[in-house]
Amino acid sequence: MKFDPAKISKIIEDNFSHLMPDFYEMQAEYLASLNSIYKDLDVCFIAMLLTHEIYKDFLEKNRKNQELDFSVKSFYQKEPTRLLKNRFKIIKISKILNLPRETVRRKVKKLSKNSLFIINQKEKSISLNTEMIDERILRMQINNVSKFLSKFSIFFSHKKLFAREVDKETIRKEIENKFLVYLDLFLNFQINYFSNWRKSIDMETLYVFLLCTLNATASLKKESINKHKYLDVDYIFFNLHKLYKSYGLSATTISEISRIPRATVTRKLKLLKKLGVLRKDSFQRYSTANLKDSKFSKTVVYTNVKSTVNNLGIFFGKCLEVYTVKL
């Protein structure tokens, strides 16, 4: 069954105040789980791409194989002879992720040292050592994505896009059963999302901004539900600074949530304030500024928000198609 990505994106765009806080929550939790594994957000970003390249190649070769197990259990390849391999080039990673080549080279070397990725320099090939991935963290990520997808599916069913609501537990079992297929879709979306932002700001700055955005939009969602009024993306973008009623976040709070050192968080907050997307109150708390007054917000933030809405339409369309098909 086919789903129109443009129609899905339009629903998200028109109901931005209700839907996007769940997206920002998922992104924040996803980065938190990755950071707990890699302890370095650039390494997280590179690991996303390498993992995606490995499993995308595997799926392209085996998608029509009816006997193949695509479940979460198959993600853990125990025997060395069954390790999935893919060739990699520093220049390709650099271009896709908008990272300097030397940064990529250093971070790839760091990945190989913790034995999570097995790198063969002679063959220029790489394998993911899934035994090094804590299954609890993987389950946490699946639970996080399941929660996100179920909330959106409920809303889509109300808009007659999808025939019925799908609860979180049903989606969780579905993802576990077709894990490699959903992993491919999810990582492709995430790589596009972060690489678009990485053109303008680094990963730590983005994470800090993401947490501030989540704080603002979560408050706004609660208020819009109480008033039974959902606001579209343009209205939210240009009026967010005066719509939400919550307090901002302090550098200490952001540091505790993100596990980024407080000194680093403070530097990133100062940068975001200078760019005109955050403001600071007398209690040293940061919240969304008037985005109409910032060139950066209009040329970078707004463009990326609109791009995210469009890409979410594509992502959900493909997820719904996978859900309606038996492997």
**Contact criterion met (CB below 8 Å) for 244 and 251:** no
Q: CA 231, CA 252: separation in Å to the nearest integer? A: 31
Judge whether residue 327 has pLDDT over 60: no
pTM for the full model?
0.90
Q: Is the dihedral of CA 79, 81, 83, 84 positive or negative?
A: negative
Judge whether residue 82 has pLDDT over 60: no
- Percentage of the chain surpassing pLDDT 90? 52
The H helix count followed by the E strand count for the chain is 15, 6
Q: CA 198, CA 100: separation in Å to the nearest integer? A: 11
H or E stretch including 250?
A: strand 249-250
Least confident of 176-190, 193-207, 212-226, 253-267: 212-226
Instruction: Show the tokens assigned to 303.
Output: 């463009």
Least confident of 119-123, 160-164, 270-274, 305-309: 160-164
**Contact criterion met (CB below 8 Å) for 146 and 175:** yes
Judge whether residue 83 has pLDDT over 60: no
Instruction: Show the tokens assigned to 89.
Output: 């080039």
* φ, ψ for residue 130, nearest 5 deg: -65, -15
In the block, residue with structure tokens 């080039």: 89
Mean pLDDT of 297-312: 96
Could you give the angle at the alpha carbon of 36 between the alpha carbons of 170 and 173, nearest 5°?
Answer: 10
pLDDT at 81: 39
Q: CA 49, CA 190: separation in Å to the nearest integer? A: 9
Q: CA 196, CA 35: separation in Å to the nearest integer? A: 20
The arrangement of strands across the sheet holding 85-87 comes to 85-87, 125-128, 117-120
Q: Where are the beta strands (DSSP E) in 110-232?
A: 117-120, 125-128
Q: Is 186 exposed, middle or buried (0-12, 13-18, 19+ CB in 10 A)?
A: buried
Q: Give the 3-state secondary structure of residue 84.
A: coil
Q: What is the DSSP letter of 291?
A: G
Q: CA 99, CA 102: separation in Å to the nearest integer? A: 8
Using H for helix, E for strand and C for coil, what is the string for 90-140?
Answer: HHHHHHHHCCCHHHHHHHHHHHHHCCCEEEECCCCEEEECHHHCCHHHHHH
Mean pLDDT of 23-47: 92
Q: What is the DSSP letter of 244?
A: -
